[in-house]
Amino acid sequence: MKKYLLIGASAFVLGAGSMAYVSQQAIASAQPRAKTYRMLGLFGDVLLGLFGDVLNTVEQQYVTDVDDTKLIQSAIDGMLTSLDPHSGYLDPENFDDMRDQTRGEYGGLGLEVTSEDGVVKVITPMDGTPAALAGVKAGDYITAVNGDSVLGLSVNEAVKQMRGKPGETVTLTLAREKSDPFDVKIVREVIKPKSATAKMEGDYGVLRIGSFNEKTTDEAEAAFGALRAKNPQMKGLVLDLRNNPGGLLDQAVAVSDLFLEGGEIVSQRGRDPRDVERYNARPGDITGGLPMVVLINTGSASAAEIVAGALQDRRRAELVGLTSFGKGSVQTVIPLRGGMDGALKLTTARYFTPSGRSIQKTGIEPDLEVASTRDEAQSIANRSYQFSEASFRNALNADEGKVRKGAHQPAEAPPEAFDVKKDFQLARASDVLRFGSVAATPKLPKPTAKLAEIIGSKARVAEVKPPQINSK
């Protein structure tokens, strides 16, 4: 059975029994040759001779003994990852781990990671997990595990060093912008994260969805229902999708359906122009028509972008925050021999919002752009430390040929007097609900940003101030 995934940024969850992408078949040199060549048969007869010659040469001349199975699996994975950042090969163990993850229960640290120029980079720590509680942040680079460098290793190889039994401690060495490298100790545990939680923020409910697994829609509906029962005078709802890396397509559709009375939610289109599948909402809005605002940022990817795009296009909610990650592709998991030989994770379609937008690489732009901190506003102004789908060299292009918005001055950032312990983006989302719309919400003065311009071999910095508007 095929499973459609919308996982942001080639995300892998680290830890014992999770998506570690490490084969237990690492002792293949002791395995029967028949199994090796059965796996090699996955390539097909056309390539068998060429690949067999290469494999034979490596076996005979490489400086140390090699693991045939590992070589073959790596070759399959390399073939697929050359297509785009989100296609790949799952060995049997990792295929099982992926299914555990989408079921919403697995062992691990709770980190979503990817590889950037040979360095393992944190996409986001998952809500309530050991990594999040230990203070790991989105954008951190993992340079060593238990004192052993992982620089230059693939994500799969690095993850192998991070695996272990629940209850054991792993030490990660992290590199963070404007900070010296430092160590963080994290105790692995079996993770059962709640993908949806709810709380009140003044007169408004806040429904936080951290990922999209098989339990998300039920958890979101239950969390909102419980909050509404305790707070029947709730005046509006903020749907918080910040740093949500994505997950299952059907859950993104179902969550969108919770707030819509009908109409298209999303469509997916494959290579054949006639290959279009549309997903529509059914009548019934669990909020009863309460005003809504959706919070997004650069960590909102894939399934999260489907929800944000659907609610924005159908004019059900306005968006506050930062432009989303920009992953607009669908991966199909195709088991090989029923999963006995693992599975292919293959990009098979792009998805489109109800208005026909493909947000691949470009992301979804908010109705009110709000940076969470002044430093974040500065990084947007000079494009330093920005991570999105467009960062991948082999990312699919946007279907319409659009490009992601470059360096610019964000609309708003926290004023100097704003309490740094509070959530500025959430505060502005509440303001939009209070005033009724983004258009009606009084705008704050734009922060003064510095744009770094590289001219030749020298860099000069120019202060950029908001344009002066004269009324006559």
- Reported as a single tens digit per residue, the pLDDT across 359-395 is 999 999 999 999 999 888 888 887 755 678 888 888 8
54-63, 150-159, 389-398: the lowest-pLDDT one:
150-159
Report the percentage of the chain scoring pLDDT > 70: 80
Catalytic residue among 115, 302, 372, 430: 302
Cα end-to-end distance, the chain, whole Å: 66
Q: Is 235 exposed, middle or buried (0-12, 13-18, 19+ CB in 10 A)?
A: middle
Average pLDDT over residues 311-335: 95
State the pLDDT at residue 457.
Answer: 37
DSSP strand pairing (236-240 vs 458-464) = unpaired
What are the distances in angstroms from CA 347 to CA 44, 301, 416? Answer: 20, 15, 45
Average pLDDT over residues 68-91: 89
In the chain, list all ranges with CATH 3.90.226.10: 196-435
Average pLDDT over residues 239-243: 95
Catalytic residue among 121, 215, 327, 361: 327
Catalytic residue among 313, 341, 367, 431: 313
Give catalytic status of residue 218 as yes or no. Answer: no
Q: Quick one: CA torsion of 140, 146, 147, 151, rounded to 10 degrees?
A: -50
Q: Are 6 and 247 in contact (CB under 8 A)?
A: yes
pLDDT for 184 beyond 90: yes
In the chain, list all ranges with CATH 2.30.42.10: 3-190
Give the separation between CA 124 and CA 174, rounded to whole angstroms: 14
In what side-by-side order are the strands of the sheet with 318-321?
196-201, 204-209, 236-240, 292-296, 318-321, 368-369
Average pLDDT over residues 93-103: 75
pLDDT for 467 beyond 70: no
Q: How confident is the model at residue 450 (pLDDT cuts 50, 70, 90)?
A: low
DSSP class of residue 407 equals S
SS3 196: strand
Report the percentage of the chain scoring pLDDT > 90: 47
Give the separation between CA 441 and CA 187, rounded to whole angstroms: 45
Q: How confident is the model at residue 42 (pLDDT cuts 50, 70, 90)?
A: low
Q: Residue 137: which of 452, 365, 372, 327 has the closest Cα?
A: 372
pLDDT for 307 beyond 60: yes
pLDDT for 55 beyond 90: no
pLDDT for 160 beyond 90: no
Q: How confident is the model at residue 289 (pLDDT cuts 50, 70, 90)?
A: very high
pLDDT for 462 beyond 70: no
Give the separation between CA 41 and CA 338, rounded to whole angstroms: 16
State the pLDDT at residue 28.
Answer: 32
| Sole residue written with tokens 């940022």 | 297
Q: Residue 9: which of 211, 162, 163, 157 has the closest Cα?
A: 211
The class that CATH gives domain 3-190 is: mainly beta
Q: 88-102, 118-132, 255-269: which has the highest mean pLDDT?
A: 255-269
Q: How confident is the model at residue 39 (pLDDT cuts 50, 70, 90)?
A: low
pLDDT for 33 beyond 70: no
State the pLDDT at residue 70.
Answer: 86
Q: Residue 88: which of 97, 100, 71, 76 has the closest Cα?
A: 76
pLDDT for 469 beyond 80: no
Average pLDDT over residues 131-139: 89
Average pLDDT over residues 150-165: 75
Q: How confident is the model at residue 314 (pLDDT cuts 50, 70, 90)?
A: very high
DSSP class of residue 417 equals T
State the pLDDT at residue 421.
Answer: 86
**Assigned fold of 196-435:** 2-enoyl-CoA Hydratase; Chain A, domain 1 (3.90.226)
State the pLDDT at residue 51.
Answer: 79
Q: 189 or 351: whose pLDDT is higher?
A: 351
Q: How confident is the model at residue 122 (pLDDT cuts 50, 70, 90)?
A: confident
Give catalytic status of residue 379 as yes or no. Answer: no
Range list of H helices, 272-361: 303-313
Chain mean pLDDT for the chain: 82
Give catalytic status of residue 35 as yes or no. Answer: no
Q: Measure CA 456 to chain center.
A: 35
Average pLDDT over residues 218-232: 97
Average pLDDT over residues 168-185: 91
Q: 15-29, 101-115, 123-137, 158-172: which has the highest mean pLDDT?
A: 123-137
Q: Structure tokens of 390?
A: 């467009």
Q: Structure tokens of 307?
A: 């929800």
